[in-house]
Amino acid sequence: MHTCQALDTPGQIHINSLPEEILLAILEFMIDKNRAIFYKEDESHDLYKRTTLVISVCRRWRRAVLDVPAFWSLVPYLSRNFYSSGGSLTELWLERGKGAPLDLVVGIQDNLDSGLHRYASVLAKSHVAARVRSISVCVSNAYKAFLLLVKLMRSEAHRSVTELSVANPSSLPSVVELPTEFSTSKEAAASRIRMFQRALRIVRLRSLTLQSTSCIFEGLIELELHEIYGLETLGLVNIMDVSSSNVPFRATLFTS
């Protein structure tokens, strides 16, 4: 937008004369500004809304923007809907990006195995895997996050994962409170915590976001979160109020 303003000299440049990259920046600014109006709460609709807003603009802008690979570089939300209609939308989104770097957002809300299958199906394409710059994984609970990280440790895909967000990590194993997903043995829970830490060290996330409505994280806090990464890679630890079970908990770890 700043570039556009610098070029916007009255009487000299018409908006339709701007480079395609600037038109793309303007359009994405418009989309972001109207996100609350046009987008539904379900993020899986973002992909459709973004495309719909683009094809609804004037023909000149539509042709220009859709030919800019950068528009297709961000795949907002890989969900069940993204793979509907025989995968035609998937292929369209990935192929139109040509050689542009890909930033994938993988949403695993329901069945973990099906989510990982969709995730793997994208990276299995050699021309896609070479373009992946970052992968953000959003899971519905920490148990799925734990399983996901363990599976990623067995492949090269973990090198692309930079962000992990856990919306409801109440099922993360703790030496204080043991969920039903894990053995009732405290030793077994502690072992799984160590595996979770090992997975995090290997993945080398840029950020880890944990959210909860309780203080179930006391067990992890006692283990000291910075030990997950090691002090040499830790840039910032930001932990909000966890003193009251009535206060939402959110911890974000940023690595340098």
The separation between CA 254 and the C-alpha centre of its own chain, rounded to angstroms, equals 15
As to burial, measured by CB atoms within 10 angstroms (0-12 exposed, 13-18 middle, 19+ buried), residue 175 is middle
Q: For the chain, what are the domain ranges? A: 71-255
Q: What is the pLDDT, as a whole number, of residue 192?
A: 58
pLDDT tens column, 191-205: 655 665 565 555 555
Residue 119: predicted pLDDT: 60
pLDDT tens-digit series, residues 58-114 = 666 666 666 777 667 666 555 444 444 445 566 666 777 777 777 766 665 555 555
Kindly indicate the confidence band of residue 147, based on its pLDDT and cuts at 50, 70 and 90: low
pLDDT, tens digit (0-9, with 9 covering 90-100), for 111-128: 555 555 666 666 666 667
Contact 7, 29 (CB under 8 A): no
C-beta atoms surrounding 70 within 10 Å: 16
Q: How confident is the model at residue 18 (pLDDT cuts 50, 70, 90)?
A: confident
pLDDT tens for 211-235 read 443 333 444 443 334 344 332 333 3
